[in-house]
């Protein structure tokens, strides 16, 4: 397996490189984006003026956050996808020692190292569904760092953590930063209660990284925001590049304010498909489900055949899932698959149900 590339971590989504197949011909369960797309008026995609600069500060995206989530504009810093925030924050805050969850999204560690910080890990508890250790254990480990970066729900484990744990820690350690990545929060059943977006005004040491690329299925557009206390946004602005949110993203963000029906549809679809898949996959002896708090599942292949065999078998069925073995802690045959449309999920389930025997037959 190729582990080292330009970014020292293989991100998902490139089956061509590994399996020499045409990506377009596959059902891609490896990317965690919404299976439905918002229907945006034609004008949203054709009538913007790319011959002018966008607003210097991504105003269109800020308008969305204020209008949709009732946030105060001064607490919203629009960015070119949550990933811009992930790289901006450690640099702007001059973090020296950061604790990240493990396993989790790789770019936290990379961003912190580039910013000159040392990175330590807070191991999630595998025997359960990759849950957090107890609050006293976390408190002990926090003593030696400036910041904790945690995704909620976490990717790739799919774990949803109770926000009360982070709120309690943020109150107990006001001198430490709590950087919460809520890229997948709108997929969770208890959104908006699950989100810490509204807690940043009271807790100056909490910030939320949010993405519009997952829930609204717009990864190609790059749009999201850092949500934090006004004073913290001021600090970040001193280090942020101007014009990182483009004209198209600004325009589309404003259109998203009218996508209430789409939001309800996605949430209903994810909740009902999640329950169905959970029930069915739990009956497959070769697969153990771990996390399922967002729009994807973390699963473990327990058959005597290896994960490579399963992946090859699924590719033969036109299905691509995310090999998670390059996340430290997930080497033991873990893979992830997204929740897609009902008929696509049904097809995946059928193939997973037959995979135990199917893989053996393929190897004969
Ligand atoms: C946990 C997590 N946060 C942030 C991102 C990046 O999101 P965006 O597309 O908004 O940059 C990803 C992308 O996969 C992710 O998994």
Task: List the chain pLDDT tens, one digit each, 364 residues.
Answer: 333 444 556 666 667 767 777 777 789 999 999 999 888 765 555 566 777 788 999 999 999 999 999 999 999 999 999 999 999 999 999 999 999 999 999 999 999 999 999 999 999 998 878 999 999 999 999 999 999 999 999 999 999 999 999 999 999 999 999 999 999 999 999 999 999 999 999 999 999 999 999 999 999 999 999 999 999 999 999 999 999 999 999 999 999 999 999 999 999 999 999 999 999 999 999 999 998 999 999 999 999 989 999 999 999 999 999 999 999 999 999 999 999 999 999 999 999 999 999 999 999 8
CA of 132 to the centre of ligand 1 (A): 21
In a domain, 152, yes or no: yes
Could you please report the per-residue DSSP string of 237-260? HTTPPTT-S-HHHHHHHHHGGG-H
Asked if 335 and 321 touch (Cβ cutoff 8 Å), the reply is yes
Asked if 289 and 281 touch (Cβ cutoff 8 Å), the reply is yes
Q: In the chain, how many domains are there?
A: 2
Our mutation pick for probing the ligand 1 site, out of 155, 182, 212, 217, counting the most ligand atoms within 8 A of Cβ, is 155
In terms of domains, do 90 and 230 share one? yes
Could you please report the per-residue DSSP string of 42-71? HHHHH-S-TTS---TT-HHHHHHHHHHH--
CA of 337 to the centre of ligand 1 (A): 16
Q: Which atom of ligand 1 is nearest to the CA of 80?
A: 11
- The CA distance from 158 to 170, in Å, is 23
In terms of domains, do 304 and 324 share one? yes
| Segment holding 301, helix H or strand E | strand 296-301
Q: Of 258, 285, 318, which marks where a domain is finished?
A: 258
Domain holding 301: CATH number?
3.90.1150.10
In terms of domains, do 224 and 79 share one? yes
- The CA distance from 291 to 299, in Å, is 8
In terms of domains, do 252 and 288 share one? no
In terms of domains, do 99 and 178 share one? yes
Asked if 135 and 106 touch (Cβ cutoff 8 Å), the reply is no
Sheet of 296-301, strands arranged across: 287-289, 296-301, 334-338, 322-323
Our mutation pick for probing the ligand 1 site, out of 83, 88, 160, counting the most ligand atoms within 8 A of Cβ, is 83
In a domain, 3, yes or no: no
Q: Of 258, 291, 311, which marks where a domain is finished?
A: 258
In terms of domains, do 340 and 278 share one? yes
Domain that holds residue 308: 15-30+261-363
CA of 82 to the centre of ligand 1 (A): 6
In terms of domains, do 129 and 229 share one? yes
In a domain, 182, yes or no: yes
In terms of domains, do 129 and 273 share one? no
In a domain, 164, yes or no: yes
């Amino acid at each position: 397996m190729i582990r080292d590339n330009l970014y020292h971590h293989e991100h998902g989504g490139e089956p061509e490189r590994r399996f020499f197949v045409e990506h377009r011909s596959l059902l891609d369960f490896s990317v965690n984006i919404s299976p439905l797309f918002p229907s945006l008026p034609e004008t949203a995609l054709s009538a913007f003026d790319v011959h002018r600069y966008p607003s210097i500060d991504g105003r269109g995206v800020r308008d969305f956050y204020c209008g949709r989530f009732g946030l105060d504009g001064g607490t919203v810093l629009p960015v070119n996808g949550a990933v811009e925030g992930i790289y901006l924050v450690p640099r702007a805050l001059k973090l020296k020692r950061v604790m990240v969850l493990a396993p989790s999204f790789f770019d936290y560690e990379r961003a912190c190292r580039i910013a000159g910080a040392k990175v330590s890990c807070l191991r999630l508890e595998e025997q359960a569904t990759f849950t957090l250790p107890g609050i006293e254990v976390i408190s002990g480990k926090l003593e030696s760092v400036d910041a904790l970066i945690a995704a909620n729900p976490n990717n790739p484990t799919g774990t949803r953590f109770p926000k009360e744990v982070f709120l309690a820690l943020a109150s107990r350690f006001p001198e430490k930063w709590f950087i919460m990545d809520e890229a997948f929060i709108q997929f969770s059943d208890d959104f908006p209660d699950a989100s810490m977006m509204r807690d940043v005004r009271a807790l100056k040491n909490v910030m939320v990284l949010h993405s519009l690329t997952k829930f609204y299925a717009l990864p190609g557009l790059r749009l999201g925001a850092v949500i934090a206390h006004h004073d913290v946004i001021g600090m970040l602005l001193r280090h942020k590049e101007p014009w990182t949110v483009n004209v198209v993203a600004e325009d589309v963000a404003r259109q998203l304010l009218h996508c209430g029906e789409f939001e309800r549809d996605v949430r209903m679809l994810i909740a009902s498909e999640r329950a169905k898949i959970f029930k069915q996959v739990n009956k497959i002896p070769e697969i153990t489900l771990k996390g399922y708090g967002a729009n994807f599942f973390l699963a473990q292949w327990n058959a005597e055949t290896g994960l490579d065999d399963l992946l090859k078998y699924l590719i033969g069925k036109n299905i691509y899932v995310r090999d998670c073995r390059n996340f430290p802690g997930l080497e033991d045959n873990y893979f992830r698959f997204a929740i897609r449309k009902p008929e696509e999920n049904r097809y995946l389930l059928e193939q997973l149900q037959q995979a135990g025997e199917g893989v053996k037959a393929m190897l004969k």
